[in-house]
Structure 1
Amino acid sequence: MASNNTASKCLMCTRPSTLRCADCKAVSYCSYECSDASWRFHKALCSSFKDFQTPPAKNMFRVVYLMPDESSPKFCWLDKADFLDKLRGGEGNMYDLIPGAELVQESRVEVNQISGQRQERKLTMYYDENFLRYAELNKAVVSSTQGLLAYDWRGPIFACAGKPGSSDFNMVDFHHLVAFFITFRGKFEINEWLSGPKLQAVLMPCDGETRLDATASPRSVMVPRLHYIWDEKHDISAVSQRIGMPLFAVHCLTKSPKWTESRDLINYATFMHTNGIANPKFDCKKVDFWAISKVGNMLIARVDQQHLEPDVAQAFADYCKYHVCTLVNAAIMQDPTAVEQLGRPMKNPPEFVMAEITPEKWAVYLSQWKALKAHDQAVAANAKTGNASAVLADGVTADTIDGVARMGLTKQDGFKLMHSLKIDLGTLLSSLLI
């Protein structure tokens, strides 16, 4: 995870950085999005790096081993003179350094194929070319890359940095090694996609961020293509699929140490994963994880990777919270057996629920949401200028917008919608423990 204060280049995108990994302090990032994107790979060695700062004896250097039966890579110290002697074919040989290998080969890595940047120093990787001897993939490589492999790496591997025997392998080197594993013999179109520019997403602030900064609101952020959001196919909001705008909705890994109050990690955007609307992620299991979990900030992005306006993301979160969830709760309250299983999705939501989750209904909602926002901004502006009594002729009333009944735009609208469905609010609130 990242902390402030550094002046190096970002490990993920090579831009000037302002954050440093708080654990190993060996890599830097330009943003929390880059830090979160890196963490799933970086964590394989991050915690152990601090234990390999001082060599146990003189003339030793640090390398990394990726053993086929071990769940993660590991650092190791090698004697420089002994290593160079083996490299030159003197007493002993390289087979002593790769247990069980039959045909030791080396590969050099000089360019990070994902960032397109030439590395400050090359990497040399040694491995058993007779990989068919090994029945399974190298577990350490699989865990280091999170399974993002095009080539079946098998057998033991170790790597060193710079001129062999001259430099210690570090965490930046490990990042380049992981990029090599991911892109080696990968399909051209996949590698080309990975090497493309960052993609836009929307950050939805949690209660802690808005508590500390009253002006905090959904905002655009740029996300690396190796960020986990683009892999989370099961974190697609089911409601967003039904309205024809599939969205990823995932939580951010980085949490601020200033978020100390009980509600700080709550994020209303979790309602994008609405209980009661079928989603393959949950497969009819308990779906209240998103609704009750304290997830911190969230990232929202379009599955088609097109630009997503922060206002649209916020409107969709409100749509799920105040409109769709109100309807789902109404359906639950109309089914006496459902109250006992509020944590489970309804197998067959009533038609009146599904009829409100369509592209057409969403278009109406978004139009009303934007009209209400403009109205509220105008009211605030009038109040600021001392013209608070001015009547706005913008078609917005407590019950309608442009003559059409208001959908669930706010909490109050949700209560009105529930009342129109003849649901007793007292019973509902007590059953939901609100």
Structure 2
Amino acid sequence: MESAQSSDSCIICNKPNALRCNRCKSASYCSKLCQRGDFLVHKLLCSSFSAFDVSKRPTKQHVEPEDEYDRRYQSPNARPFLNDHGREVPIQFNAVLARRLLDAVCVSYRDTFLVDGSAPNSSVATITTTQPGYHHHWCGPIIAYGKVGSDFDPEECRDIDMHDFRHVADYFMSYGTDLISVPSSPPMNCVKVKGVRINCLGDQKMFNKPHFEEIELSTTSIIFRSHETSDITKRIGIPIYTKRCFPHPNWANAKDAEMFGNESPYNNQDATFLHLCIDPEAKEDFSRGFLGWSWAPSQWQQDVGSTIVVRQDKKPLLPWHAEALCSYCRYHARDCLAHTIGEYAPDKPMSKSLALSMICRPTFSIWWYRMCREQRDKGKIVDAKIPYDE
């Protein structure tokens, strides 16, 4: 997990000694690249924020009376907007940027907005349209404000700035998604599991990351509670959990960037082929994204991005293992499935049962040793044992 952010750190990558936006003098960036990465969100408020009258301080009306402990607890006067149904959510961690915050940002909204007839919140809708994918439907008035510190219940309010706006925007863009943040390192004194991040085109080209990157996760990582699986790797005796990552802001909206050619930066076909359906009884259900036999679900075909893979048994999964599993799914299992649906004419399509018999542990073992030989012929050494090795 990246360290907490100070006011002079880049809002995107957290590098120190960043320069502030020339217009609003609030958000900080270490480079033009990071500034472009934040542009679609930042431009929504930059002009208005630069025109705010910061000389007027909050009045006493914003401060609650002293409590029984002789403390003066500060909170926004939200009742005119939220009535008596307001709910406060403190944002102390940015899930998109995988970063904890030095000072909390709070979001308050009516907890009855789905049933009280509240109109859709167009401001939040404008924010979420900057990021592809499904987003929660927010309605009614919403208030965002800053708090001092990141304790469980900060008492003191503070001015909100454009760094906070980024965290608020990411809260709405990440709310209810099936994506995951990957800390740079798991917490100390925890049990760790070796996994692999299959980096998409955007992360490979923009940050020079390897296609298969070794990572470490805590055994308490959310991927072990919320995940998807692979029919093929389960069938061959190496069941895995998978979860897509949040796209990095620097490439998430750069689909026309020259470095990506004619491809989407979200392109990650290896992750797609891991999720091919091999259930012969599977039915198409387009409303849920299920495309049936031989196809990956729709969420694994569009805007896939980088993907985390771990073994269900929490044994080490190394980059060579992930590469072998992906290539097996993509070039062996997929060809078997393709034959069943008539893609090898004039051959008569083989039966599903025959195709399934060809997707098994022995054929993967053959695939593994073939990959090792091919890599050796290229001058590379596969420094990993076959995944079945105890």
TM-score, L = length of structure 2: 0.51
* CA 1:327–1:112: 2 relative to 1, 3 Å: closer
Residue 52 of structure 1 aligns with an amino acid whose one-letter code is: S
Counterpart amino acid of residue 290 in structure 2: D
Counterpart-to-counterpart distance in 2, 1:321 and 1:58: 57
More RCO (CA 8 Å, sep 6+): 2
Cα-to-partner distance string for 1:236-291 (whole Å, 9 max, x where unaligned): 33323434513326476344734332357554412223366549864346947779
Query: Is residue 59 of structure 1 aligned with residue 55 of structure 2?
Result: yes
Distance 1:263 1:178 in 2: 25
Q: Aligned to 2:160, what secondary structure does the other structure show?
A: coil
Alignment of 1:243-254 (within 5 A): 243-244=236-237, 245-248=239-242, 250=244, 253-254=247-248
* Partner of residue 342, structure 2: 333
Is 1:99 the counterpart of 2:76 in the alignment?
no
**Structure 1 position 333, deviation (Å):** 2.3
Pairing 1:368–2:344 present: no
* Partner AA of 1:299 in structure 2: T
Secondary structure of 2:50's partner?
A: coil
Report the AA paired with residue 242 of structure 2.
Answer: F
Q: Deviations over 1:370-427 (max 9, x none)?
A: 4234323443449xxxxxxxxxxxxxxxxxxxxxxxxxxxxxxxxxxxxxxxxxxxxx
Give RMSD over aligned pairs: 6.4
Ranges in structure 2 where 5+ consecutive residues have no aligned partner = 1-5, 66-74, 149-155, 176-185, 381-390
Shift of 1:18: 11
Aligned equivalents of 1:171, 1:47: Cα separation in 2 = 13
Q: Shift of residue 312 of structure 1?
A: 1.4
Map residues 29-44 of structure 1 onto 2, 5 A cutoff.
none
**Aligned runs of 1:111-260 on 2, under 5 Å?**
120-121=102-103, 135=115, 158-162=143-147, 167-172=159-164, 175=167, 197=187, 201-205=195-199, 216-221=210-215, 233=227, 236-244=229-237, 245-248=239-242, 250=244, 253-254=247-248, 255=251, 257-260=257-260
- Corresponding position of 1:193: none
Q: After superposition, where does 1:401-420 map in structure 2 within 5 Å?
A: none
Work out whether residues 249 and 272 of structure 1, in 8 Å CA contact, stay in contact via their aligned partners in 2.
Answer: no
SS in 2 for 1:160: strand
In structure 2, how many angstroms separate the alpha carbons of the residues matched to 1:291 and 1:267?
Answer: 12
Measure how far apart 1:58 and its partner are: 5.3
Contact 1:95 1:102 in 2 (8 A): no
Q: Check 1:330–1:227 CA distance in 2 against 1; reply closer, same or farther (3 A cut).
A: same
Listed as ranges, the gaps of 5+ residues in structure 1 are 1-5, 30-34, 61-79, 184-195, 340-345, 383-434
Provide closer, same or farther for how the CA distance between residues 260 and 26 of structure 1 changes in structure 2, counting only shifts above 3 A. same
* Amino acid paired to 2:167: H
- Give the deviation of 1:208 after TM superposition: 8.1
Structure with more of its chain in helix, by fraction: 1
Counterpart mapping for 1:346-425 below 5 A: 350-357=352-359, 361-362=360-361, 364-381=362-379
SS at match of 1:375: helix
The equivalent position to 1:87 in structure 2, one of 54, 59, 62, is: 62
Matched residue, 1:312: 321
Q: Which residue of 2 aligns with 1:432?
A: none
Equivalent residue, structure 2, for 1:283: 290
1:113/1:224 CA distance change after superposition, 3 Å: farther
Whether the aligned pair in 1 keeps the contact of 2:105 and 2:147 (CA below 8 Å) is yes
CA distance in 2, matches of 1:120, 1:214: 30
**Structure 1 residues 249, 8: CA separation in 2 closer, same or farther (over 3 Å shift)?**
same
Task: Tell me if the contact between 2:233 and 2:240 (Cα under 8 Å) persists in the aligned partners.
Answer: yes
Relative distance call for 1:121 and 1:47 in structure 2 (3 A) is: same
Q: Secondary structure of the equivalent of 2:44?
A: helix
Distance 1:214 1:121 in 2: 32
Secondary structure at the counterpart of residue 339 of structure 2: helix
Alpha-carbon separation, structure 1, partners of 2:45 and 2:159:
15
* Aligned length, in residue pairs: 309
Is the contact made by 2:7 and 2:28 (CA closer than 8 Å) also made in structure 1?
no
- The change in CA–CA distance for 1:304 and 1:206 in structure 2 (over 3 A counts) is same
Q: Secondary structure at the match of 1:220?
A: strand
Give, in angstroms, the shift of residue 84 of structure 1: 0.7
CA contact (8 A) 1:199 1:224 kept: yes
**Partner Cα separation in structure 2 for residue 246 and residue 88 of structure 1:** 52
Task: Return the index of the structure with the highest Cα Rg.
Answer: 1
* Matched residue, 2:309: 301
**Change in 2 beyond 3 A, CA 1:86/1:8:** closer
In structure 2, the partner of 1:389 is: none
Name the counterpart of 2:179.
Answer: none
Distance 1:251 1:113 in 2: 14
